[in-house]
Amino acid sequence: MENMEKNEYIQIHTFLLHLKKYLEDMVENNGGVEFNKYITLNITPNMLYKSKREHKLAIFTLSEGIGLLLSNNKCPGLEKISYRLGQITKLIMTDKEKERIMF
């Protein structure tokens, strides 16, 4: 993912946001807590002024939430993937972002 252009990150971010909305409509147990970290980031695909790193962070955070949503709704085996995505997210975050988002 390091060699990607910013607009490619934004396209992936947009796709994952659409996937999130679609899955939230499909699942029965959707309390929304799976996406608290993503919401706290306050980074959307429409924010073109955000850096490539910030969109990358949003992609991993959103992916982690999608994995959690699916694993909490009869799609076993995704817990490890969600956990790993969370670990990658922490590596991408700045110290200031880590302070803002409670883990």
| Residue range of the domain that includes 85 | 6-100
Query: Do residues 19 and 66 touch, judged by C-beta distance below 8 A?
Result: yes
Q: What is the pTM of this model?
A: 0.77
Q: How far apart are CA 29 and CA 36, in angstroms?
A: 15
Close Cβ partners of 103 (under 8 Å, ≥ 6 residues apart): 37, 86, 90
Q: Give the total number of structural domains in the chain.
A: 1
Query: Measuring CA to CA, which residue among 25, 40, 37 is closest to residue 73?
Result: 25
CATH number at residue 10: 1.20.1270.110
Helix (H) or strand (E) holding 50: none
Q: Does 1 fall in a domain? A: no
The pLDDT value recorded for residue 72 is 77
pLDDT tens digits, one per residue of 5-49: 999 999 999 999 999 988 888 876 666 788 999 999 999 999 999
